[in-house]
Structure 1
Amino acid sequence: MKGIAMIAIKTLGIATFALAAIGFAFPAAAGTRYPTNVIAEYVYACMKANGENRAVLDRCSCSIDVIESILPYERYEAASTFKQMGLLTGENSALFRESAPAKAATAELRRAQAEADIRCF
């Protein structure tokens, strides 16, 4: 009986170590948190548009936090890409402005930004 208990404890220890290693490799919030550079870029652009002082820094930080709570990163990234590519000129950029996925993604981002404006500004 002692041998079986020791094997079970060793197996449990190895499984726990493996799960911990996976947890460090893939944090639970990895799919929901925005990358730091995306947050910094948003706050920087927000401050350029609204003023460069501490109060605006706090409001812009709040704004991206609200957007992050509404939109998963993948949808934020898609909407930002459509928005940025839609600023290009020429026939090819029409796809990024006029397609149904582009309109849906940018509308979703605008709604999240409007909610952030209400809560933070």
Structure 2
Amino acid sequence: MTHIALIRRIVTAAALLATTAALAYAADVNDYPTSARAEYVYGCMKANSETREAINQCSCSIDVIASLLPYDRYVSAETVLSMSQVRGNLGGEFRSSAQAANAVRDLRRAQAEAEVRCF
């Protein structure tokens, strides 16, 4: 086997590995259901403006969040934020739990990174 043939095999193997890694990453990034992405973009646009630029920025924002935070953590943080608004003992559990605070902190970090990258 010549050096050229060996190099071709190595390059082919590296390309296959890179493609597999890219597909795995894409699957991880795209684990958010379309409805969750649409809901986020809708809320984001209502909070910012209802322009074409806002669609692009808000879509970018949820893509960044999805790349940094698995969907189950996103759902947990959204649930905590929603339930912490409930008055009384039930809401208090969500406001005072360390696990809940960690979930919200992770979401806030992802949102801050999205703000930097997209707006």
Q: TM-score range by the shorter chain?
A: 0.7 to 0.9
The equivalent residue for 2:50 is 52
The equivalent residue for 1:115 is 113
Normalized per residue, the structure richer in helix is 2
Indicate conservation of the 8 Å contact 1:79/1:106, yes or no: yes
Tell me, in whole angstroms, the C-alpha distance in 2 between the residues paired with 1:87 and 1:113: 20
Deviation at 1:31, TM superposition (A): 8.6
Match of 2:68, as an amino acid? I
Tell me, in whole angstroms, the C-alpha distance in 2 between the residues paired with 1:107 and 1:118: 17
TM-score relative to the length of structure 2 = 0.74
Q: How does 1:26-65 map to 2 (within 5 A)?
A: 29=27, 33-65=31-63
The equivalent residue for 1:17 is none
Change (3 A) 1:30 1:77: same
Indicate conservation of the 8 Å contact 2:28/2:70, yes or no: no
Percentage of pairs with the same residue:
55
Deviation at 1:112, TM superposition (A): 0.3
Match of 1:67, as an amino acid? I
Tell me, in whole angstroms, the C-alpha distance in 1 between the residues paired with 2:48 and 2:29: 30
1:104 aligns with 2:102: yes
Indicate conservation of the 8 Å contact 1:32/1:72, yes or no: no
The equivalent residue for 1:84 is 82
> Which consecutive aligned stretches of 4+ in structure 1 deviate over 3 angstroms post-superposition?
none
Deviation at 1:91, TM superposition (A): 2.0
Indicate conservation of the 8 Å contact 1:66/1:112, yes or no: yes
TM-score relative to the length of structure 1 = 0.73
Match of 2:102, as an amino acid? A
Point out where structure 1 has 5 or more consecutive residues left out of the alignment.
1-27
Point out where structure 2 has 5 or more consecutive residues left out of the alignment.
1-25
RMSD: 1.6
Decide which structure has the larger Cα Rg and report it.
1
